[in-house]
Amino acid sequence: MKKFRFVDLFAGLGGFHVALDALGGQCVFAAEWKPHLQDLYETNFGLRPAGDITDVLPEMVPDHDVLTAGFPCQPFSKAGEQKGFECTEQGDLFFNVEAIIKAKKPQFFILENVPNLLNHDGGRTWQTIQALLGVGGLGYDIRATRFSPHHFGIPQIRERVYIVGSRSSLSHFEWPEPTHSETSIETVLDAFPPDAKSLSPQVEDCLTQWNKFVKAAPKKLYLPSFPLWSMEWGADYPFEDETPYAVYAAKGMRGLAKFRGSHGRPLRELSGDERWLALPSHARSEQLEFPKWKKDFIRQNRRFYAENCSWIDPWMKDILRFPSSLQKLEWNVQGEKGEVWDYVLQFRASGVRVKRRNTAPSLIAMTDTQVPIIGWERRYMTPRECARLQSLSELKALPSSNSRAFQALGNAVNADVVRAVARALLGQGTRPSKTSLLSEKASRRSIVPELAKAL
Torsion 24-29-34-38 (CA) sign: positive
The partner residues of 31 in beta bridges, in order of sequence, read 9, 50
Phi and psi, residue 291, nearest 5° = -65, 160
Smallest Cα–Cα separation from 240: which of 289, 280, 198? 289
DSSP code of 91? G
Sequence letter at residue 169: S
CA end-to-end distance (rounded Å), the chain: 16
Distance CA 221, CA 337 (A): 9
406 CB neighbour count, 10 Å cutoff: 26
User: Smallest Cα–Cα separation from 301: which of 346, 262, 274?
Assistant: 262
Q: 379 pairs with which residues across the strands?
A: 198, 374
Tell me which residue of 374, 387, 384 sits closest to 416, measured CA to CA: 387
**Residue 73: active-site member:** yes
Q: Which residues pair with 348 in a beta bridge?
A: 351
DSSP string of 110-135? EEEE-GGGGTGGGGHHHHHHHHHHST
Residue 70 CA to residue 9 CA, distance in Å, equals 7
**Paired strand residues for 346:** 353
Are the CB atoms for 427 and 155 separated by under 8 Å? Answer: no
The answer for residues whose C-beta is within 8 angstroms of residue 225's C-beta and 6 or more apart is 331, 332, 334
Within 226-285, strands assigned E span 228-229
What are the φ/ψ torsions at residue 27 (nearest 5 degrees)? -80, 120
Single out the residue of 220, 186, 176 nearest to residue 421, CA to CA.
176
Distance of alpha carbon 235 from alpha carbon 257, whole angstroms:
13
Amino acid sitting at position 256: L
Q: Which of 422, 385, 384, 359 minimizes the C-alpha distance to 433?
A: 422
Find the DSSP H helices in 11-119.
15-21, 35-45, 94-104
Q: Which of 27, 73, 206, 386 is catalytic?
A: 73
Residues with a catalytic annotation lie at 73
